[in-house]
């Protein structure tokens, strides 16, 4: 995806490896962290995008559990699920 230039990463990622690869590919990396001293649940910026996408994918029964033995079959099922989601959203705006 050559148009992707801005990455959001969780604070738990290995930053050195991520930053090295990102500078090599001219990406902008924004690390999303919790505030110091935060207790309990806290809404983090841009985190909802990932959680929303996981929610859309779990509508497909086959993606709820790890039924697939091969990674390429699992990837194909994710493409089918997200393609159906895009078609549904375009048909009913």
* Amino acid 1: pLDDT: 65
**Region 22-41: what's the mean pLDDT?**
80
Is the predicted pLDDT of residue 49 greater than 70, yes or no?
yes
Name residues whose C-beta falls within 8 Å of residue 35's C-beta, 6 or more positions apart in sequence. Answer: 42
**Region 13-39: what's the mean pLDDT?**
79
How far is it, in rounded angstroms, from Cα 73 to Cα 26? 31
Of 63, 56, 60, 9, the closest CA to residue 32 belongs to 9
Is the predicted pLDDT of residue 26 greater than 70, yes or no?
yes
How far is it, in rounded angstroms, from Cα 73 to Cα 68? 7
* Amino acid 52: pLDDT: 81
């Amino acid at each position: 995806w050559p148009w992707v230039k801005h990455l959001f990463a969780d604070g738990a990622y290995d930053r050195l490896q991520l930053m090295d690869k990102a500078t090599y590919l001219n990406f902008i990396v924004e690390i999303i962290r919790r505030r110091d001293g935060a207790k309990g649940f806290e809404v983090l910026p841009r985190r909802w995008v990932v959680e929303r996408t996981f929610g859309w994918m779990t509508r497909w029964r086959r993606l709820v559990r790890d039924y697939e033995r091969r990674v390429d079959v699992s990837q194909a099922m994710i493409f089918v699920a997200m393609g159906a989601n895009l078609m549904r959203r375009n048909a009913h705006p």
